[in-house]
Structure 1
Amino acid sequence: MGCTRAYIQNENVVYEFTTRDVIRDDCGLLASAAPEDLWDGKLHISGEVVRLEYGLEDALLVGRFLDGSAADSDVFAMDGSVANVSLPGKEAEAQCFVDQLTLHMEGTTRCATEFVGVLSVRYEQRIQQPGCACQLWVRYQAIQQDKSPCGSSS
């Protein structure tokens, strides 16, 4: 059993997530007033394990750093779920009662204070509800709260 690698990503701090590209948003889960704003999250790293306390329904995502990433680019993947939630549906008045909300996040470290990647969110319902077959897929940027993006001089 070998030692774990040191990762440069800052941990135990809040990251502000913003949308860089909406790939899919079937039910309009993103706020219509500010669709670039996603939910903030607090990142934790323990050896190879990475966890994120994420603001969407207080989800906890757990995963690990992936083997084979470039030395200057740490890559990780996390999954999580939340049971029994009520979320918006496709129609403006529709409310979806979801047995499980599943989340998958992939990220690549750009520097100690920033990572980028893809987030997917899927509604899982046991009883079919018209207008509730929803998924959200976005490319995101996560920057440590009160910090500037990598490479900017602020």
Structure 2
Amino acid sequence: MFITECKGYELEKTKSNTSEDFFNKSEVTFKDTGIERTFQVLYLRYFDEFISEFTPYQEEPIFEAGSRSVQFKDIVALAFLIKNPEFRSRKRVYINSKAEFSSLFKELDFEKLATIFTELENGKGFEIRSPVEFIVQPQ
């Protein structure tokens, strides 16, 4: 799986009677067996308040990659695909459970995650050969 882009953003209301402004969307664009795909995770914006529970980060931006300030919402879809590689053929997932959301970040190697963003900022993309490379292995 060759990662070409990771981004996240806050949804905004398109109509006054919708609840879109309670959600964030995180996207990862990648090539898998020569086919370009985009995978999206839609999740409750409320979960952003718990960054320090899910990750080693305390505030936004969570880290810098070159000239880019990486936000928490930028890493969510990538974390999901690393933890659930069988979802590569899906287009989107909706998460409304804090327990399910927090499980995405358990045992994730955040230093290696930052490396992906550095390579993306350098315009190179990043090849993930095995998702296991991004899971912290017991010592």
| TM-score normalized with structure 2 length | 0.26
Rg larger in structure: 1
**Structure with the bigger percentage of helix:** 2
